Amino acid sequence: MEADEFETFVRQSTPALRRYARAVTADPHEAEDLLQETYVRMAGAWHRLLADGNPLGYAKTAMVRLHVSWMRTLVRRARIAPPARPQVADGGLGRVDDHDQLRRMLADLPPLQRVVLVLSYLDDLTDEAIAEAIGRRPSTVRSLRHRALGAIRAELPTHAGVVDREVAG
């Protein structure tokens, strides 16, 4: 009975959690891995999650924590090989799509900074809630968000100029 409930939950929540995993990881392949690992973790605590009544909230928090815990592994990998970037479409005429540009910037951010952006702007969480989710202090959350936005702002105007020039011809 509970196994059926769990599988029903997986089927119903997959679209939302897949989108969330893609936002958190900025990598579709890593997102699938994170999605499945999150469900595996939930299966182990399904009794309690049913009692708590908010399995989707648990899934998001578990996903973020899993991803942050993978940071160390990613950092180690990064020392050996450069981080993989998602393929970016160039529109066929050299015109850079804004979304692809921003998507690439997000992929280049350190995982913790990207997670803070997701929790801040996709989930609209307070700094205190974000701090609790990622196991850091609220001041650290503010600092991470500041650095993430700084990195994006530093690249956006340059690329916007490129886009403008390319569009102008």
Partner 1 sequence: MSDVRQALRAVWDSDPDHYPAGSDPLPGVRARLRRRRRAQAAGAGLALSAVVGIGAFGVMLAERSETPPTGATTASPTDSAGPAQRDLRGLPSYLESVDATEAVLKSELPQLVPTGVRAAYEGSGPVTRVIAVFDFTAPTGLPGTPREVTVPSGAQVLTTDDPVTSTAYLTAWRPDGSSLFLAVTAAEVEERSAAIDALIEANLG
Chain contacts with partner 1 (rule: CB under 8 A): 7, 10-11, 14-15, 18-19, 22-23, 28, 31-32, 35-37, 39-40, 43, 98-100, 102-103, 106, 117-118, 121-122, 149, 152-153, 156
DSSP H helical ranges for 45-137? 46-52, 55-69, 71-80, 98-108, 111-117, 127-134
Spatial contact of 112 and 134, defined as CB atoms under 8 Å apart: yes
Minimum Å distance from CB 20 to partner 1? Answer: 9
Among candidate residues 86, 81, 145, the one with its CA nearest the CA of residue 110: 145
Nearer to partner 1, 25 or 68 (CB): 25
Nearer to partner 1, 16 or 75 (CB): 16
Nearer to partner 1, 136 or 159 (CB): 159
- Which residue matches tokens 């540009």? 101
Nearer to partner 1, 80 or 89 (CB): 89
Minimum Å distance from CB 103 to partner 1? Answer: 6
Minimum Å distance from CB 76 to partner 1? Answer: 22
- Which residue matches tokens 């605590």? 45
Minimum Å distance from CB 79 to partner 1? Answer: 28
Nearer to partner 1, 14 or 69 (CB): 14
Spatial contact of 17 and 38, defined as CB atoms under 8 Å apart: yes
Query: Phi-psi region for residue 92, left (φ > 0), alpha (ψ -120 to 50) or beta?
Result: left
Minimum Å distance from CB 57 to partner 1? Answer: 18
Residue type, 27: D
